[in-house]
Structures are given as structure tokens and as C-alpha cells.
Structure 1
Amino acid sequence: MSDYKLGKAYALEQDKNDPLADFRQQFHLPKDANGNPLIYFTGNSLGLQPKLTKSYIEEELNDWANLGVEGHTEGEHPWLHYHEFLTQSMADIVGAKPIEVVIMNTLTTNLHLMMVSFYKPTEKRYKILIEADAFPSDKYAVESQLRHHGYDDKDGLILWKPNPETDLTHYDELERLMEQHGDEIALIMIGGVNYYTGQFFDLKRITELGHSYGCKVGFDCAHGAGNVKLDLHNSGADFAIWCTYKYLNSGPGSLSGVFVHERHAHDKTLNRFTGWWSHNKQTRFKMRDEFDQLPGAEGWQLSNPPILSMCAIRASLDVFAEAGMDNLIEKSRKLTGYFEYLINELNNDHIRIITPSNAKERGCQLSIQVRSADKALHQKLTEAGIITDWREPDVIRCAPVPLYNSFEDVFEFVERLKPILAFPKGRND
């Protein structure tokens, strides 16, 4: 039995009693031509801008203007150490120790850097296992690593395929693949939350399975960081990477996060690409010293960080720290559960939710499959003041984000969806 109720009064009551409701006011909400806020359910693609962001960036612009190069060591947030201001908050969000986390580069760049260290193929063990419907950039990256090492990118790739009836990937199939190919697999690289279905994987289960066969295990948490409880340290994963521009609200194309488990923190024998920012901080500017590897995730850095992008990350992380990740997850489950309830109450044969119904197996995203629809339906939603994400052939990805979306948003979304579903291909007759 669900405690949710139909009707707008219920949604308004939930918003009134929501302890996180005021955080909505800390974000810039996109508006229509008449100045009315749009219903924005696309935080899974690009998060909204915190109002703090502008002032944080202006602070560093002022230091650049007034201090020039001295801004590296002076000012309230010296640039030389700027990435360190992000470490604790980011570690709290992804469930890691500070030594395991660093912000650097961009997502696929970091995936390649991690594979330099953790994809170590041999004549017998060279294959990579990935979801069949992984985010394309992940698939492209691992295929290119196979080619780089001289292997065929089709023979060397093992695909964990979803069940065609549910569109979800099942662990019994993963276990079967490992039984069949485990001694051939060098690396398991899975998206922590599948971009298409919104399925949140059991990272610890996958890691333990992979390690039992002698494989390295890594995760792309682009759709998980800031959305679900990743608990990366306790998962035991060798590495993880994520972007910061989705649920972490740092702006388009912003920097990526990296996790490297602490058991690798002091292993200087790991192969890696290096740069001067992974060199000992105490002797970095002596310039002529031999390379001296930093411990922990910082030891994978290459270059000094882009400060203005990090300002936006710091602004968002400060909002997260104030709200608390556990509080956000609690609201997220209520908000997405309410969304699921309203969709199911439509009793419409045209639609089904392909995201798992178990709250522990998803974040805030619901992927709604609309039979007999095409992208015209998505256009109708846009015209109705709803910003969602269309994925071919027939899925709308919707993410009610707990930091800035409300129960009223969810109610209004479903109310505006009802007449559109009557004409799923966008017809007006």
C-alpha cells in the first residue's frame, strides 16, 4: 500500500512540510517567455545553476584582476591549493575517504587515465566487460583501449546484455558471463547508474564478483554522483570516475571526479601517465627534481587545475554540504516514489516505467517508455513547459532532483502529460 494520494492539495502539503523546500530558492530556474518557471526534470543531463556560483567565480576574477600571478598563493582561496577545497565535500557525497578523491580533467579523459593504470592486459587475460547499453562514450573509450593494446575491439569486448522483457540487466547473467569468461577478463567497467534505464547497480556485489575472478573493477558514476549513495570506499572498487555537471550542478562541460581506492594509494609501481601536479607538493616548484609520486588519488593529476570551473564546483558542493546527502536521498525517494505513483495511477497502456520499482535500485530518474511514440511527443512536452530528455527510440528520461524540484512540479508534470498521451505521436486530431 502506498501512502501517496491523488490531487494537487497533497502535493502542496508535501512541499509545505519538506525540510529541504527552501533549497529550491538557491537555484536559477529556467523560465518561459512569460516569466513562468518551467518544470525542469533534466538534472540527469545538466543540473541547474546555484545562485552562489556567480559570486564564487567573481571572487576569483577579482583576485586575478587585483593580484595577478600572486593569486596562486594569496587571496581567500589560493589557486595553488584550490582543488583541495573540494575534496572533503566530494568525498562525503560519493562515500569515500579524502585520500581517495580528486577533482581533475574531464570524464572520458579520466576514464582513459584510470585504464592506463587498471587495464593491464596479458596474452590470456585481456578482455573488458561492460554493459551492452553503456553510455556511448564509455563504450568508445574501452574499445579504443583494446585497439591501443593491439586487440580486436569486438573480440575483446564482453557485453552484459539486458533482459529484453524488462530492459534491465540481471546479476545472474553477469555471473554466467564471469563463469564463462572470468579468466579472460582483465577489467570490468560498468556505469554505476545506467543512463538509459536509471538502474542503480550493486557496486559492492559487482566488485566482489570481479575480484573473485582476479579482475580489476571500475565504475562510471556520472549518473550516480549526487544522486544515489555510492559508498565507493566500502564497495571495494579499484576506481571510479564521474562528471560534475549533472546532479552536481557545476555547469556545462565542467570537471570530473576520480576515486582510487586507498589500497592503491601508496603503490608507486602502478603504471600511470603523470604530470607536474602529481609530483610531491613540497618540491614541485624546484622544477629539476626527479619525479616523486604523490600518494592517493592526487597522484593521478596531470596539470594545474582550471580555477573558474572549480569555483562552480565549490559553489554546488557548499549547497550539498548544507543540505546533507542523506537528507537529499530521503527526499529523492519520496519525490520519485510519488512520481511513480502518479504515472501508475494513469492506468495508460501506452506507457510503462522501465526503471526498477525498488527504490534501492534507482536514483531520482524515471525512464518512461511510450509505445507508438516518436520525438514529436517530446516536443509536445516542451511546448507544455516541461524540460525532459528524449532517448531513442521511445523513452523520456525524467529526473525530479531533490535540491530544486518540488512535489508540485511532479504533480504538474503528470497533469500536463495526460492530454499529450492521448496523441503520442504529437497529433492534434
Structure 2
Amino acid sequence: MNDVIPTLSAAQLDAADPLAAFRQEFHIPPGPDGQPCAYLCGNSLGLQPKAARAAVEQEFDAWERLGVEGHFHGTSPWMHYHETLAAGSAALVGARPIEVVVMNNLTVNLHLLLVSFYRPTATRYKILMEGGAFPSDQYAIESQARLHGLDPAEVIVELVPRPGEHTLRTEDIEATIKELGDSLATVLIGGVNYYTGQAFDMVAITRAGHAVGALVGFDLAHAAGNLEMHLHDWDVDFACWCSYKYLNSGPGGASGVFVHERFAHRPDLVRLAGWWGHDPSDRFQMKKGFRPMAGAAGWQLSNAQIFPMAIHRASLDLVERAGGMAALRRKSEQLTAYLEARIHELGLPTSQLEIITPTDPAQRGCQLSILVHQRGRELFDYLASQGIIADWREPNVIRLAPVPLYNSFEDVRRVTEAIREFTATSAH
């Protein structure tokens, strides 16, 4: 299908799109002319599902009518609300329900997981991450090293591309892991790099990490709702993700956590404890002595965030109705290939505009990062003036993310036509 995309018009592709109707399930912000904008910024904040408001209103109604009894009565009692998200979250990342839980926010969960899965010793203390990771990951790992009395500069090993390249090679990641050997305690890499849009080979990385005795985890902020994953089968140890990007669950939306089933019945694992992670059979007896719930739920700290979770449940329902990640991924590859093809059709030299995201669909999600060597900020502002919402990253990268649930091929056409108009004007 991707081979024929450049020969078809946007209208033809939209007419043949089995997911086209899902665009109507979202509120599309208006552009400067009052018409719906071309919103290609879902890798930063996804759009609002129309079902979100009713989902939250249902919980407002329960709070109004039931007060504290809403924990035990009503349509979705709050006491067990997180359990209603388990099946959808498991399907999202290729896990078993016992391996996932929705709680807190992303960086909080990253810290909670590192407390358990970064346990340095005198000889095994290194932690591997990609250079240029999102700042929260860098800060979290730095502070975790300091919590153990270690110098981050001596503990953290950063992967960087080869000279003249923008992305990492899998063989270089594997080689670094092998070189670190039994000094490596933990691997923590983003499933998709936020800046370049590169999707990493999580299977190969996990296999390499385990081969030297390290634990392997992933920050899936840019992968959840974007890539089709099979975390259980890939043998990943731990992972976490946010829900406000490709999962359209609102700013600051609740985060997801994956902990492999082999750790499900390990109460001996060091962790930070809170009462919502305690065995529910005697949680309300208020006794000392923490006994964690089985599975990922045993990492919970506090009561469920009902209102953000209600939005998240509405979003997960949309993913399921659309046919799950396999269906979304099929359209994603087509949209991104169409965007790439139309940019190449512009015929601009790489000295002016360069796509730094891998061309191989297996190594990217629905994002192309464009390195604009000349007048990048002016191009970004021009796109905004034409009702096109993209994302600017210093010093000169424009990120475009055509999201399969609500973006159309017409959106992509609008973007590339606007780039054509800007570059034609700037050439005179």
C-alpha cells in the first residue's frame, strides 16, 4: 500500500481510509480563518475526544449524588476504577492485565520504577540511556544516581549517533551494552526518541541487556498509542508512558506502568509504598506492614485519579473501537509515508530542509522531524498562520505528527503545500 501512496491524491486516500470516520470523534481546533486546523502536534498533546466530557460528567454526577459512597456504589465504583483500565492498557502495549496499572504521572512513575529496577552494587552500577533523551528522563536518572550516593557523570552512559548521523544504530547500542558487560545495572531508553522520532528496536535492546545481566526498561511516552508493542513477549522488565500525547487523555493525564509478570509476586522487591498498593483484603484495617498487591498494581501509592482516568478510559475505548493498535499502525504508516513522499516531491536540497527521522517504517512512528537549515522559525510561524499546528524544537527542528485517529491525508497535503508556498516565496 505504501508503494502506491505517492500516486494517489489526498482525497482518494481519505475516501479509502477505513478509520476516516474517527476524525469526527474529536474536537478539531479552528485555524485563523475559523476552519478546522491541520493539527499535527499529537506527539505533544493529543486532541480532545468528544466522549471525554460525558465520561467526566458521569463521575461528577456520582460525586454529587453519592459523596464518599461513590467509592463503593454507582456505575463505576472508584475503589476499583483502576481495574477498569487494565484490559485496555494491556492491549495497548502487548501485556497481560496483571502487568499494567494506570496511576500518577509519567516522571513520578519513572522514579517509582527506578527505585525498584535500578539497584546499583559496588561492581554493577552503570545505567545506559540515549543521549538527548527528554529532560525529565535525564533529571530522573541523575537524581536516582545521587540517591545512591553516586556521581551521575560516572554512572550514566549516553548513547550518541555516529559522526554525521542523526539517529542511533541498533548494532551500536548492542555493542555498547556488551562492552559495559557486568558493570551495567539498568538500561532505560525511550521507545521513540522525542526529538528525532526514531523508534528503537526494543526486542534487540532487551535481549542484549539481559545477556549481560542487566534490567531493561523503556520510557514509552512517544510510543504508547503510536507503535504496536508486545512488552510481555519481548521480555521487557519495566516501562511507563503518559496518556496525553497519542492517547488523547488530556493535559497531565494519568500515566501507565508495565512490570513484567515475573515480578508480580515479589513482595521482597524494594519499592516506595503507599496504601493503594497494599493488599486490598485488609487495606482498611490500617495496620503497619506493607503487603503489595500482586502485579504492577502493587506499585500504586494513592487513591485513583478518577477524573483524568475517566477521560483516559474514553480514549482507550476509542482505540478499541478503531480495531486496536494494529489498525492504527497500518494507517499511521500510510500517513507518514504520504507525508515523507510529498516532502521529497518538493525537491528541496538537504542544505535547506532535511528529514532526520529514519526512512524505514519499522524505525519510526507517526512523526517526521524536519531539520530546517534556513529560516526554520519563520517557516514554523508561516505554517501556524495557515492553520497548521506543528511543534518547534530548538534550535531548528519542526516536528510533524500525523496521528491516525484524527488526521487525514488532506491535513498532510495542506502541510506540504504550505511548505511549498513558503519556500517558493523565500526564494525570490
Normalization by structure 2: what TM-score?
0.96
Establish whether residue 222 from structure 1 lines up as the match of residue 231 from structure 2: no
Counterpart position of 1:362:
364
Amino acid at match of 2:3: S
Larger CA deviation: 344-353 vs 374-383: 374-383
- State which of 393, 408, 419 in structure 2 corresponds to 1:417: 419
Normalization by structure 1: what TM-score?
0.96
The SS at the match of 1:19 is coil
Per-residue deviation at 1:289?
6.0
Establish whether residue 288 from structure 1 lines up as the match of residue 287 from structure 2: yes
Counterpart position of 2:83:
84
Tell me if the contact between 1:182 and 1:213 (Cα under 8 Å) persists in the aligned partners.
Answer: yes
Counterpart position of 2:341:
341
Counterpart position of 1:263:
262
Amino acid at match of 1:215: A
Tell me if the contact between 2:278 and 2:293 (Cα under 8 Å) persists in the aligned partners.
Answer: yes
Partner Cα separation in structure 2 for residue 332 and residue 76 of structure 1 = 35
Establish whether residue 160 from structure 1 lines up as the match of residue 159 from structure 2: yes
Amino acid at match of 1:363: G
The SS at the match of 2:90 is helix
The SS at the match of 1:154 is helix
Tell me if the contact between 1:129 and 1:187 (Cα under 8 Å) persists in the aligned partners.
Answer: yes
Counterpart position of 2:58:
59
Counterpart position of 1:253:
252
Amino acid at match of 1:4: I
Counterpart position of 2:21:
22
Partner Cα separation in structure 2 for residue 309 and residue 428 of structure 1 = 48
The SS at the match of 2:152 is coil
Tell me if the contact between 2:31 and 2:386 (Cα under 8 Å) persists in the aligned partners.
Answer: no
Partner Cα separation in structure 2 for residue 128 and residue 41 of structure 1 = 34
Per-residue deviation at 1:422?
4.0
Counterpart position of 2:403:
401
Deviations 1:101-150 (A, max 9, x none): 00011111101100110001011111111001111110111011111111
Per-residue deviation at 1:185?
1.3
Partner Cα separation in structure 2 for residue 191 and residue 28 of structure 1 = 29
Per-residue deviation at 1:5?
3.3
Tell me if the contact between 1:333 and 1:364 (Cα under 8 Å) persists in the aligned partners.
Answer: yes
Structure 1 regions of 5+ residues with no counterpart? Answer: none
Establish whether residue 299 from structure 1 lines up as the match of residue 301 from structure 2: no
Partner Cα separation in structure 1 for residue 120 and residue 326 of structure 2 = 39
Tell me if the contact between 2:225 and 2:246 (Cα under 8 Å) persists in the aligned partners.
Answer: yes
Partner Cα separation in structure 2 for residue 382 and residue 33 of structure 1 = 8
Partner Cα separation in structure 1 for residue 330 and residue 178 of structure 2 = 37
Counterpart position of 2:330:
330
Per-residue deviation at 1:163?
2.5
Tell me if the contact between 2:369 and 2:399 (Cα under 8 Å) persists in the aligned partners.
Answer: yes
Amino acid at match of 1:116: V
The SS at the match of 2:154 is coil
Partner Cα separation in structure 1 for residue 340 and residue 32 of structure 2 = 30
Work out the percentage of aligned pairs sharing the same amino acid: 52
Deviations 1:384-410 (A, max 9, x none): 111000111211110000000001111
Deviations 1:59-101 (A, max 9, x none): 1101111111111111101111111111101110111110000
Amino acid at match of 2:322: A
Within-5 A mapping of 1:36-115: 36-115=35-114
Tell me if the contact between 1:87 and 1:102 (Cα under 8 Å) persists in the aligned partners.
Answer: yes
Amino acid at match of 1:31: P
Length, aligned pairs only:
424
Per-residue deviation at 1:24?
0.1
The SS at the match of 1:367 is strand
Amino acid at match of 2:330: E
Counterpart position of 2:311:
312
Partner Cα separation in structure 2 for residue 144 and residue 83 of structure 1 = 29
Tell me if the contact between 2:23 and 2:406 (Cα under 8 Å) persists in the aligned partners.
Answer: yes
The SS at the match of 1:316 is helix
Establish whether residue 3 from structure 1 lines up as the match of residue 10 from structure 2: no
The SS at the match of 1:421 is helix
The SS at the match of 1:159 is strand
Larger CA deviation: 113-122 vs 32-41: 32-41
Q: 1:34 to 1:385 in 2, by over 3 A?
A: closer
Tell me if the contact between 2:170 and 2:200 (Cα under 8 Å) persists in the aligned partners.
Answer: no
Tell me if the contact between 2:232 and 2:260 (Cα under 8 Å) persists in the aligned partners.
Answer: yes
Counterpart position of 1:134:
133
Tell me if the contact between 1:95 and 1:233 (Cα under 8 Å) persists in the aligned partners.
Answer: yes
Larger CA deviation: 175-184 vs 216-225: 175-184
Per-residue deviation at 1:428?
9.6
Partner Cα separation in structure 2 for residue 36 and residue 53 of structure 1 = 22
Partner Cα separation in structure 2 for residue 344 and residue 34 of structure 1 = 28
Within-5 A mapping of 1:128-207: 128-207=127-206
The SS at the match of 1:291 is coil
Alpha-carbon RMSD across the aligned residues, in angstroms, is: 1.5
Partner Cα separation in structure 1 for residue 122 and residue 400 of structure 2 = 44
Partner Cα separation in structure 1 for residue 141 and residue 17 of structure 2 = 43
Partner Cα separation in structure 1 for residue 366 and residue 284 of structure 2 = 45
Larger CA deviation: 242-251 vs 350-359: 350-359
Amino acid at match of 2:71: H
Tell me if the contact between 1:204 and 1:234 (Cα under 8 Å) persists in the aligned partners.
Answer: no
Tell me if the contact between 2:5 and 2:334 (Cα under 8 Å) persists in the aligned partners.
Answer: no
Amino acid at match of 2:364: R
Tell me if the contact between 2:31 and 2:37 (Cα under 8 Å) persists in the aligned partners.
Answer: yes
Structure 2 regions of 5+ residues with no counterpart? Answer: none
Per-residue deviation at 1:290?
3.7
